[in-house]
């Protein structure tokens, strides 16, 4: 593992990567100096110069492909604690680098070698740097909300319990919803009757079916019978939808790995929408699709909880 430290007013840098095949997204960040043998308090302010306590090492949010997890990890320990942040850049400082996962013994990464780390989910693609397209300002998306969903009726705030998301046990390359602890109490995995995501206690009421563009093309062209069967199952749900990771423009562009005609694929998914009343949502990226599903499930639960408990079906009275 090569440790890269940016010396421009602070230590921490943020890195984003996505799989070249399935668009699985990961993030790493750091490093931060820490001090105290027991407390490991982080110096996240990004200052230089003298500090109140000696620095014992560096911590980073790293990625372990073996465990397929992002972890906060000690990546450097100094044999002799440092007394200034500036000493971190001295070459003669004796240090011990942590290069492997404590649990699975696989290499861990703060900075992933471009195109070298294989995706553990689809096992087909490799991780590449995820960068916004500079000539398209709309790609600079703001992050999701960090606050819990607030419901106000009759001049009072109504506290709605956080729901639990159920992820189909066969869904191995999808969303983890780790960014949305403000909306959900957690996730569980189990075999679902239809779809990839639902809410605990509503498994036969709401179903979200996730598709990447390659998966959608394969389902409609190569596995059409199974696709129709899944549509028929989804049709019985009160709330259901397809979430497609990709733009309509990409769907209408000739495919590299298939001879399927884009018009046939688009025509089929729209026909499925109209025949079985299953809305189709095209979302540009993995992250936007995950946020869309999280927001939809959170608000669906809120409205259903309000109805069940004798409240009006609105989040803000006199509004939505």
Find out whether 165 and 184 touch, Cβ atoms under 8 Å.
yes
pLDDT tens, residue by residue, 220-243: 999 999 999 999 999 999 999 999
**Percentage, residues of the chain above pLDDT 70:** 84
The mean predicted confidence, pLDDT, of the chain is 84
Query: Residue 5: its pLDDT value, please?
Result: 37
Query: Residue 275: its pLDDT value, please?
Result: 97
- pLDDT grade for 211, boundaries at 50, 70 and 90: very high
Find out whether 128 and 118 touch, Cβ atoms under 8 Å.
no
CA angle 184, 169, 250 (to 5 degrees): 80
Query: Residue 86: its pLDDT value, please?
Result: 61
- pLDDT grade for 40, boundaries at 50, 70 and 90: low
Query: Residue 209: its pLDDT value, please?
Result: 97
d(CA 20, CA 6): 27
| Helices (H) then strands (E): counts for the chain | 5, 15
Find out whether 75 and 98 touch, Cβ atoms under 8 Å.
yes
Find out whether 40 and 92 touch, Cβ atoms under 8 Å.
no
Of 266, 265, 197, 270, nearest in space to 237 by CA: 197
d(CA 147, CA 298): 12
Which of 96-100, 114-118, 221-225, 262-266 has the lowest average pLDDT? 96-100
Any idea where the domains of the chain sit in the sequence? 13-129, 143-308
Find out whether 224 and 230 touch, Cβ atoms under 8 Å.
no
Find out whether 147 and 162 touch, Cβ atoms under 8 Å.
no
Q: Does residue 167 have a pLDDT over 50? A: yes
**Is residue 168 within a helix (H) or strand (E), and if so which, with residue range?**
strand 164-168
Mean pLDDT, residues 240-257 taken together: 92
**Is residue 265 within a helix (H) or strand (E), and if so which, with residue range?**
helix 262-276
Q: 3-class DSSP state for residue 88?
A: helix
Q: Does residue 93 have a pLDDT over 70? A: no
- pLDDT grade for 172, boundaries at 50, 70 and 90: confident
Which residue would you say has higher pLDDT here, 23 or 316?
Answer: 316
Which of 219-233, 252-266, 288-302 has the lowest average pLDDT? 252-266
Query: Residue 140: its pLDDT value, please?
Result: 67
Which of 22-26, 115-119, 157-161 has the lowest average pLDDT? 22-26
What's the alpha-carbon Rg for the chain, to the nearest Å? 23
Which of 63-67, 124-128, 140-144, 299-303 has the lowest average pLDDT? 140-144
Q: Does residue 9 have a pLDDT over 50? A: no
Which residue would you say has higher pLDDT here, 187 or 83?
Answer: 187
Is residue 22 exposed (0-12), middle (13-18) or buried (19+ Cβ within 10 Å)? buried
Q: 3-class DSSP state for residue 264?
A: helix
Find out whether 163 and 295 touch, Cβ atoms under 8 Å.
no
Mean pLDDT, residues 168-185 taken together: 88
For domain 143-308, the CATH class is: alpha beta
């Amino acid at each position: 593992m090569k440790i890269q430290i940016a010396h421009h007013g602070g230590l921490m840098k943020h890195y984003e990567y996505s799989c070249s095949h399935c668009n699985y997204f990961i993030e790493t960040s750091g490093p931060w100096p820490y001090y105290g043998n027991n407390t490991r308090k982080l110096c996240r302010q990004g200052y230089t110069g003298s500090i109140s306590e000696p620095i014992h090492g560096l911590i980073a949010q790293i990625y372990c492909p073996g465990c397929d997890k992002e972890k906060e990890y000690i990546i450097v320990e100094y044999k002799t604690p440092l007394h200034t942040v500036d000493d971190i850049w001295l070459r003669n400082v004796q240090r011990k680098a942590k290069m492997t996962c404590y649990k699975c013994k696989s290499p861990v990464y703060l900075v992933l070698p471009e195109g070298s780390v294989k995706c553990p989910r689809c096992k087909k693609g490799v991780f590449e740097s995820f960068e916004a397209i500079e000539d398209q300002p709309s790609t600079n998306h703001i992050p999701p909300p960090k606050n819990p969903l607030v419901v106000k009726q009759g001049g009072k705030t109504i506290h709605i319990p956080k729901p639990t998301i159920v992820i189909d046990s066969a869904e191995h390359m999808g969303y983890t919803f780790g960014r949305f602890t403000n909306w959900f109490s957690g996730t569980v995995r189990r075999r679902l009757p239809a779809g990839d995501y639902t809410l605990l206690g509503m498994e036969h009421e709401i179903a979200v079916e996730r598709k990447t563009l390659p998966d959608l093309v394969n389902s409609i062209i190569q596995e059409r019978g199974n696709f129709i069967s899944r549509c028929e199952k989804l049709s019985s749900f009160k709330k259901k939808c397809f979430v497609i990771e990709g733009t309509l423009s990409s769907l209408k562009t000739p495919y590299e790995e298939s001879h399927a005609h884009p018009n046939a694929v688009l025509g089929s998914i729209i026909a499925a929408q109209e025949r079985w009343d299953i809305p189709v949502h095209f979302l540009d990226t993995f992250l936007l699709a995950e946020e869309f599903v999280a927001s939809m499930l959170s608000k669906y639960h809120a409205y259903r909880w309000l109805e069940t408990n004798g409240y009006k079906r609105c989040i803000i009275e006199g509004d939505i």
